Amino acid sequence: MLSPDDLTALCVTLKLAAVSTVLLIVLATPLAWWLSQTRARGRVLVEAVVTLPLVLPPTVLGFYLLLLLGPKGPVGAVLEDIGIGHLAFSFSGLVVGSMIYSLPFVVQPLQNAFAATGTRLLEVAATLRASPLDRFLTVALPLARRGYFTAAVLAFAHTLGEFGVIIMLGGNIPGETRVASIAIYNHVEALDYGSAHALALTLVVFSLVLLTLVYALNRRGQSVGVPR
Amino acid sequence: MSIDARFCLQRGEFHLDVDVTLPGEGVTAVFGASGAGKSTLLRCVAGLERAAQGVLSVNGEVWQREGLFLPVHRRPLGVVFQESSLFPHLTGAGNLRFGLQRTPIGERCVDWDEVVQLLGIAPLLPRYPDSLSGGERQRIALARALLASPQLLLLDEPLAALDEARKAEILPFLERLRTRFAMPMLYVTHSMREVARLADYLVLLEGGRVRAQGPVQEMLSRLDLSLAAADDAGVVIDAVVAEHDAQWHLSRLSFPGGSLWVSRCAEPPGERLRCRVLARDVSLTRERNEQSSIVNLVAAEVVELAPAASPAHVMVRLDAQGTPLLARITRQSQARIAVQPGECFWLQIKSVALLR
């Protein structure tokens, strides 16, 4: 049913979702932690910026990223100079774009999870001789694991459905930046509804299975009394 | 051996300004109404209030002074909070190990098996905090704090969140800790019962300041403090079991100013016992009255008088050869039998509560 090109597009999509999710989880952790602990005045501005990708049209996001990461852009030019090369029309560029696109979907669950733990248990850990890093790793992280689970699933699923940012960043190079959503768009443009259908249905089934699995795992976690 | 603490902390409207020198052993109760600053003082000692200016040294070791602030995790202390603060993702045993593992082997001076046995928590160890009762959780929290081998144990109203039955379940454990471990304890509470039962020394806080401090026997007999105005005002007497009377099922406790008969207790003769005598249970007579049903008679001299909470009553402080006692009598009686400082009376003590 699926042509080799479509399979390649699917692979690129999964790879993009996996890589962005892992990087995002790691990089968003300190940000979410800081937001959950700080009373600094700049916090509201940071929160607003983090939420921005949620409300902006993805094309706006993609447009500015193109300007920023392209060969003439401030970030792209620097990367050119140091020999890495600009990020427009590349898989790395898509990873950066996806991470920004999915940022609020990771930061918010993590921030909420950290905030829900509160300060008392961290204080208790301190009185039991745990250093700040120790407290974070042995108390805050394990207690936020539901938040991590939610964040990872949302980031992954959100990236699977990404279209606007990618098309702006030049995502139509087979095997490099052509993801499933772009391939579907191409098929429709070419009036090849059969191929569009096959790929689209594959995405629907895959997403459904993924989410069902997640909810099932979540439910089981609750019913056997795993502490929250 | 002492704990020297001086703290200044501004927190909105509230101002804590405390300068105390506390005994470096035994139980020091920090007593006061809600909002008096008891918990804040405790948090300052623990190092949980970074904003606090002050000086703190515990048995010779400086934890805080100008230019030095030992972070909480470097202070060898244990804290038990009011509500259970067990780590929900760890079992009972996991919670106990948390502090133990972070204590250098050379500093460990508390034995796992002994603590587990003392607090009766062996069956609770494999269970998660979710499945434990409030009293069970507080026992685990106590054990967890002890296993970090603290040089100072801070207890912030550890019983306040428990119902009467659970309180009665934990109090004996706290007493055992007190006798078994030499570490000093700071015990924040607003319960006079807990003070009378556990404390050796008492710090009375009012509005963020120290109103008075001293040995608990002396503090409870002072008429110039709010303590004497309470309905359950009274003294504690540290006595020794003198003899048991098998025929009448009584035990005689002796203290420097006399002796008291109480219901037969389990402790053998020679054992120390603390009891509490409430001011409202003490009456005064000029003559020794052998025809009364009240068996406990103690001779004492009136030291001072002070108004009681109700205008019908007057508080009388007496001295029985060094043991202070309080009596609450009516003004009418005071006038009728001429209760004045320097006069001697027989105290009829209607009831004695054994505390341990």
- Residue range B224-263, pLDDT digits in tens: 988 888 888 999 999 999 999 999 999 999 999 899 999 9
| Local confidence band at B315 (pLDDT 50, 70, 90 cut-offs) | very high
Q: By the CB < 8 Å criterion, does A4 face chain B?
A: no
Q: What is the C-alpha to C-alpha distance for residues A9 and A18, in angstroms, rounded to an integer?
A: 14
Query: Rounded to 5, what percent of chain A is helix, strand, coil?
Result: 75, 0, 25
My answer on whether B206 and B316 are in the same domain is no
CA distance B101 to chain A (A): 9
Q: Which domain holds residue B185?
A: 2-220
**Residue B285 covered by a domain:** yes
pLDDT for residue A228 is more than 50: no
Check residue B301 and give its pLDDT: 94
* pLDDT (mean) for B91-103: 94
The residue among A124, A133, A135, A136 with the most chain B CBs within 10 A of its CB, best to mutate, is A124
Q: What is the C-alpha to C-alpha distance for residues B18 and B143, in angstroms, rounded to an integer?
A: 30
**Residue B108 covered by a domain:** yes
My answer on whether B249 and B215 are in the same domain is no
My answer on whether B292 and B248 are in the same domain is yes
- Residue range B324-335, pLDDT digits in tens: 999 999 999 999
Of A102, A226, A198, A197, which Cα lies nearest the Cα of B131? A226
**Residues B189, B192, B197, B198: is their CA dihedral positive or negative?**
positive
Q: Could you tell me the residue ranges of all domains in chain A?
A: 4-179
My answer on whether B160 and B248 are in the same domain is no
CATH homologous superfamily for A4-179?
MetI-like (1.10.3720.10)
**Angle in degrees, CA A180, A186, A187, rounded to 5:** 90
* pLDDT (mean) for B304-323: 92
pLDDT for residue A227 is more than 50: no
Of B204, B155, B183, which Cα lies nearest the Cα of B58? B183
Q: What is the C-alpha to C-alpha distance for residues A89 and A69, in angstroms, rounded to an integer?
A: 10
My answer on whether B211 and B265 are in the same domain is no
Phi, psi torsion values for B110, nearest 5 degrees: -120, 130
My answer on whether B140 and B85 are in the same domain is yes
Total length of chain A: 228
- Residue range A155-166, pLDDT digits in tens: 998 898 888 888
**Angle in degrees, CA B213, B219, B225, rounded to 5:** 85
Other Cβ atoms closer than 10 A to B90: 19
Determine contact, residues A117/A111, Cβ cutoff 8 Å.
no
* pLDDT (mean) for A128-141: 94
Q: What is the C-alpha to C-alpha distance for residues B352 and B263, in angstroms, rounded to an integer?
A: 9
Whole-number average pLDDT of chain B: 90
**Residue B146 covered by a domain:** yes
Q: What is the C-alpha to C-alpha distance for residues B262 and B243, in angstroms, rounded to an integer?
A: 11
Other Cβ atoms closer than 10 A to A23: 15
- Residue range B17-57, pLDDT digits in tens: 999 999 988 899 999 988 888 999 999 999 998 877 889 99
**Residue B263 covered by a domain:** yes
- Residue range B257-300, pLDDT digits in tens: 899 999 988 889 998 889 999 999 999 998 888 888 888 999 99
Check residue A221 and give its pLDDT: 57
Q: What is the C-alpha to C-alpha distance for residues A220 and B6, in angstroms, rounded to an integer?
A: 53
Determine contact, residues B317/B326, Cβ cutoff 8 Å.
yes
CATH of the domain at B321: 2.40.50.100
Helix (H/G/I), strand (E/B), else coil: B328: strand
The residue among A39, A117, A127 with the most chain B CBs within 10 A of its CB, best to mutate, is A127
The per-residue b/e assignment along B58-71, b for 16 or more CB within 10 angstroms, e otherwise, is: beeeebbeeeeeee
Q: Which of B71, B73, B88 sits opposite A227 (nearest CB)?
A: B88
Check residue B171 and give its pLDDT: 85
**Angle in degrees, CA B252, B255, B259, rounded to 5:** 40
My answer on whether B15 and B155 are in the same domain is yes
ipTM of the complex: 0.84
My answer on whether B211 and B243 are in the same domain is no
Rg of chain A over all Cα atoms, to the nearest angstrom = 20
Token pair in block for residue B297: 């008679």
Token pair in block for residue A41: 């005045």
Residues in chain A within 8 Å Cβ distance of B79: 123-124, 127
How many separate helices (H) and strands (E) can be counted in chain A?
12, 0
Token pair in block for residue B287: 């003559």
Q: What is the C-alpha to C-alpha distance for residues B301 and B15, in angstroms, rounded to an integer?
A: 41
Check residue A224 and give its pLDDT: 39
How many separate helices (H) and strands (E) can be counted in chain B?
8, 21
Determine contact, residues A10/A199, Cβ cutoff 8 Å.
yes
The residue among A39, A119, A129, A135 with the most chain B CBs within 10 A of its CB, best to mutate, is A129
Q: By the CB < 8 Å criterion, does B140 face chain A?
A: no
CATH of the domain at B78: 3.40.50.300
- Residue range A10-69, pLDDT digits in tens: 999 999 999 999 999 999 999 999 999 888 888 999 999 999 998 999 999 999 988 888
| Structure letter (DSSP) for residue A70 | S
* Structural domain count of chain B: 2
pLDDT for residue A151 is more than 60: yes
Q: By the CB < 8 Å criterion, does A142 face chain B?
A: yes
My answer on whether B204 and B177 are in the same domain is yes
CA distance B60 to chain A (A): 20
CA distance A147 to chain B (A): 14
Total length of chain B: 356
**Residue B227 covered by a domain:** no
Q: By the CB < 8 Å criterion, does B137 face chain A?
A: no
**Residue B304 covered by a domain:** yes
Find, in chain A, the residue whose alpha carbon is nearest to that of B49.
A123
**Residue B14 covered by a domain:** yes
- Residue range A75-95, pLDDT digits in tens: 888 888 887 777 888 888 899
My answer on whether B176 and B297 are in the same domain is no
Q: What is the C-alpha to C-alpha distance for residues A207 and A195, in angstroms, rounded to an integer?
A: 18
Q: What is the C-alpha to C-alpha distance for residues A200 and A5, in angstroms, rounded to an integer?
A: 14
High-pLDDT (> 70) share of chain B, %: 100
